[in-house]
Amino acid sequence: MFVSRRMRRKKQGVVEGEGAWARILLLVALAPVICSAGILDPWQWARSDRIEVNIPWLPFENETRCYDELGCLNITRSWYHLIHRPLNVFPLPREVINTRFILYTKENPTEGQVLIVAKDKSIKRSYFSPKRKTKFIIHGFIDTPLSNWVKEMRNELLKHDDYNVIIVDWAGGSLPLYTQATANTRLVGLEIAHLIKHLQNNYGLDTNDVHLIGHSLGAHTAGYAGEKLNGNIGRITGLDPAEPYFQGMPSHLRLDYTDAKLVDVIHTDGKSIFLLGLPGYGMSQPCGHLDFYPNNGKEQPGCTDLSETTPSLPLTLIREGLEEASRVLVACNHVRAIKLFIESINSRCQYVAHECSNYASFLRGECFSCKSNNSLSCGVMGYHADSSPAVVRRQAMGQDVLSLVGSKFFFTTGKDDPYCRRHYRITINLARPPTAESWVQGFMKVTFHAENGIIRDVDLTPRICLNKLD
């Protein structure tokens, strides 16, 4: 029985809609459990010290507020957009957000040391060393430094090399409402910049050795810190920067390539927040020097359907706890950027991505070359993005990486850990005898023989065009 393409699409849409409603109903059922885990705590939202009038008296009227030695923040007309950013507020007081910096090194890999700029002895007595490179980990909305992924990233970084790993704790400002949390990121960015400047002036920290790693709102927080330091830090990695209130806005409101000497971004949840069904939480527009789009950057394998996500929840619950299981259920695509980055730190498999105009062209194999004489280039997604051929080649020629701005790098991944996959392009030229028919029908499978094993019977038929010889 043949089904028209339009009918197939209609049926597929019904299935996707049912899956979205099923996930929403499951989330509602699990809401009390999620709240008990501390991820969504409504009692915290309504604390009296969180309810403060931070809204400027008149929209579009310039207003400035200053925060002691951190500097001042303003809200001007450029911060408003009827659709993308209709409301702006000022950050909560410093004592409410209570930003903390927790240091981990190889000397203290599990017991963190709190660094306080106002109490310089806390830094002098710590294991901080300006001779090491310094990595900052910045969590996002409704998140805390106690999250499993923060610990895992910290451990993988310390396993990779001898670093100062500083976790930024801004849990006092990351809770709902979202509008307030976005405003709080500006103040947290100033706090980070203030610490970096203090370490530079008093301890000899080289800002070229500073790497800020932020997820969701944490990515934009890193951008604010970099902007405050005039872009003079070595690198910022944005892990699926948050879309709401940032996408489509001017560069000074969000993470931007001017915020560091190298800004690499991983986009994994780029479906528009305005779409019906389950929207995306991450930005889709390029905002760095290197913008990576695994699986087109919108929906990730293993996250697209409730039937794929739900079976893995019990295993995730056992291995990583209730918090991570809830996170996967609510924002599977959004947190995939974190998982990809963590895996890339010490993995022997590199996430090689190819610069291309769009994902469809990449899948057709039209953007597969990494050769220096090719107009397109390739990059390495994740921790080792600074060693990407696209970056190294330009540095060797004495060029900066500004020419990469706006480029998109595509690659594919698996649906579960380990996610890294290698790309192969197979080109087969078929003869066309004069007596051949105008069409041919068949199947084509390929078996790969590699050092680590054999990949059998890979079906290429859906990926190539065998029904036309023209």
The tens digit of pLDDT for each residue in 382-402 reads 999 999 998 988 888 878 889
Asked whether the bond before 229 is cis by omega within 30 degrees of 0, the reply is: no
Angle made by CA atoms 286, 291, 295, in degrees to the nearest 5: 105
Residue range 52-79: mean pLDDT, rounded: 79
Q: Could you say which of 143, 169, 240, 291 is catalytic?
A: 240
Task: Cis check for the bond before 418: say yes or no (omega within 30 of 0).
Answer: yes
Active-site pick, 174, 334, 344, 388: 334
256 in a labelled binding site: yes
- Which residues, at least 6 apart from 284, have a Cβ–Cβ distance to it below 8 Å? 243, 247, 267, 270, 271, 272, 297, 298
**Better-scored residue on pLDDT, 81 or 255:** 255
Residue type, 388: S
pLDDT at 365: 86
269 is catalytic: no
pLDDT tens figures, 113-136? 999 999 999 999 999 999 999 999
Asked if residue 418 lies in contact with residue 346, where contact means CB atoms within 8 angstroms, the answer is no
Tens digits of residue pLDDT in 10-57: 333 333 444 444 444 444 444 443 443 344 444 444 444 444 455 554
Cα–Cα distances (Å) from 51 to 109, 141, 175, 180, 469, in that order, read 37, 18, 12, 10, 68
Instruction: Give the pLDDT score at 56.
Output: 57
For the cut 70, the answer to whether the pLDDT of residue 278 exceeds it is: no
Beta bridge partners of 136: 166, 212
Looking at residue 273, what is its pLDDT? Answer: 66
Q: Is 240 a catalytic residue?
A: yes
Sign, CA torsion 57/60/63/67: positive
74: tokens are: 């303003």
Please tell me the distance from the alpha carbon of residue 239 to that of residue 101, in angstroms, as a whole number.
Answer: 20
pLDDT category at 436 given cuts 50, 70, 90 is low
Is 334 designated active site? yes
Distance from C-alpha of 292 to C-alpha of 220, rounded to nearest angstrom: 17
Residue 307 has pLDDT above 50, yes or no: no
Q: Residues 180, 155: contact at Cβ < 8 Å?
A: no
Question: Are the beta carbons of 246 and 267 closer than 8 angstroms?
Answer: no
State the amino acid at position 25 in one-letter form. Answer: L
Q: Residue 2 has which token pair?
A: 């043949």
Q: Which of 216, 284, 326, 344 is catalytic?
A: 216
Q: What is the pLDDT of residue 439?
A: 63
Q: Which of 260, 316, 297, 440 is nearest to 381 (CA)?
A: 297
More confident call, 431 vs 320: 431
Instruction: Flag whether pLDDT at 173 surpasses 70.
Output: yes
Looking at per-residue pLDDT, the higher value among 7 and 239 belongs to 239
Residue 295: band (very low, low, confident or very high) from pLDDT cuts 50, 70, 90: very high
Task: Supply the pLDDT for residue 373.
Answer: 57
Segment 195-250, tens digit of pLDDT = 999 999 999 999 999 999 999 999 999 999 999 999 999 999 999 999 999 999 99
- % the chain with pLDDT above 70: 73
259 labelled binding-site residue: yes
